[in-house]
């Protein structure tokens, strides 16, 4: 861990939820954490500053921002919560180039500050992983620095994830970004074989040993998320990983 003074939740009530990849569970973790924070009576705000592929599909019938707003019963205007929505299911810079709409960090920060005035906690969900380009010169990592936020990293407990997790942490530490916790999340259904079980356990264990920061989870695979997303989230909110995360965040 870097010894440089960093932004902590006590100084700044915002938090950036990033991950090792897309589809790793950032929206699931942000929403479950949000439900837990609201249960504590905290006034919650959310932001998903950049979202691509917003056309509903059978696999993903709702956008991240509408899921967050609906389940967390937040009434902030959708275009403030998500100022950059691109219909093409491309990486942000590709989508922004295609739409000829550049992403402006100052605009995101102004909206972030506007939202944060009316809440105790503001959860900002990232897009993809930390090195994803958002503009010709800036990445998601630059946005975290620009917003001066500590972050939570969502990661998988599956083979390959030790590398992805440690690379993500290295990239964040390089810019003195404070990582509050890693949340391991099981995004695929039942572990089929003994080998898969061993991979899951040893990956989780190695991430715990080598990351040097608190690790919670793995959050189990929750089949309800496919049929009833809100119920699935409410189920996961009761998981010990979310309770531990709340303790780490000192809420």
The minimum distance between CB 146 and ligand ADP, in angstroms, equals: 21
Closest to 121 in 3D by CA, of 246, 36, 18, 13: 13
From the CB of 186, what's the least distance to ligand ADP, in Å?
A: 5
Three-class HEC string of the chain: CCCCCCCCCCCCCEEEEEECCCCCCHHHHHHHHHHHHHHCCCCEEEECCEEECCCCCCCCCCCHHHHHHHHCCCCCCHHHHCCEEECCCCCHHHHHHHHCCCCCHHHHHHHHHHHHCCCCEEEEECCCCCCCECCCCCEHHHHHHHHCCCEEEEECCCCCHHHHHHHHHHHHHHCCCCEEEEEEECCCCCCCCHHHHHHHHHHHHHHHHHHCCCEEEEECCCCHHHHCHHHHHHHHHCCHHHHHHHHHCCC
- Scan residues 101-140 and list those touching ligand ADP (CB under 6 A): none
Decide: is 24 part of the binding site for ligand ADP (CB under 6 A): yes
Which of the following is catalytic: 39, 40, 48, 176? 48
Q: How far is the CB of 233 from Mg ion (least distance, A)?
A: 13
Choice from 14, 25, 49, 83 touching ligand ADP (CB under 6 A): 25
Catalytic residue check, 38: no
- Cis preceding linkage at 56, omega within 30: no
Residue 219 binds ligand ADP (CB under 6 A): yes
- Residues of span 25-44 touching Mg ion by CB under 5 A: 26-27
Q: Is 67 a residue that touches Mg ion (CB under 5 A)?
A: no
User: Of 57 and 137, which CB lies nearer to Mg ion in the complex structure?
Assistant: 57
Residue 28 found at the interface with ligand ADP (CB under 6 A): yes
Residue nearest Mg ion, Cβ-based: 27
As measured in angstroms, the least distance from the Cβ of 232 to ligand ADP is 7
> Using CB distances below 5 to 8 A depending on partner kind, what does residue 74 bind out of ligand ADP, Mg ion, none?
none
Of the chain, the end-to-end C-alpha distance in Å amounts to 23
Number of residues forming the site for ligand ADP (CB under 6 A): 16
x-or-dash string of contact with ligand ADP, 49-88, rule CB under 6 A: ---------------x------------------------
Residues found near ligand ADP in the complex (CB under 6 A)? 19, 22-28, 64, 185-187, 219, 221-222, 225
Residues found near Mg ion in the complex (CB under 5 A)? 26-27, 64
Catalytic residues: 48
């Amino acid at each position: 861990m870097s010894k440089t003074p960093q932004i902590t939740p006590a100084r700044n009530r915002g938090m950036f939820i990033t991950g090792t990849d897309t589809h790793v569970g950032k929206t699931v973790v942000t929403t479950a954490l949000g439900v837990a924070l609201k249960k504590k009576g905290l006034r919650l705000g959310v932001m998903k500053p950049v979202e691509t592929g917003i056309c509903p599909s059978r696999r993903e019938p709702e956008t991240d921002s509408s899921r967050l707003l609906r389940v967390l019963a937040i009434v902030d205007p959708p275009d403030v919560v998500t100022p950059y929505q691109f219909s093409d299911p491309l990486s942000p810079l590709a989508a922004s180039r295609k739409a000829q709409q550049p992403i402006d960090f100052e605009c995101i920060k102004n909206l972030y500050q506007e939202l944060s005035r009316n809440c105790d906690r503001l959860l900002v969900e990232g897009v993809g992983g930390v090195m994803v380009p958002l503009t010709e010169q800036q990445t998601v990592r630059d946005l975290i620095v620009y917003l001066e936020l500590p972050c939570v990293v969502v990661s998988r407990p599956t083979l390959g994830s030790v590398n992805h997790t440690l690379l993500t942490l290295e990239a964040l530490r390089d810019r003195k970004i404070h990582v509050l916790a890693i949340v391991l999340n099981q995004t695929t259904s039942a572990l089929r074989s003994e080998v898969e079980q061993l991979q899951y356990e040893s990956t989780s264990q190695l991430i715990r040993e080598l990351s040097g920061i608190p690790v919670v989870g793995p959050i189990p695979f929750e089949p309800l998320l496919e049929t009833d997303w809100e119920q699935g989230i409410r189920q996961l909110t009761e998981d010990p990983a979310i309770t531990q995360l709340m303790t780490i965040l000192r809420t």
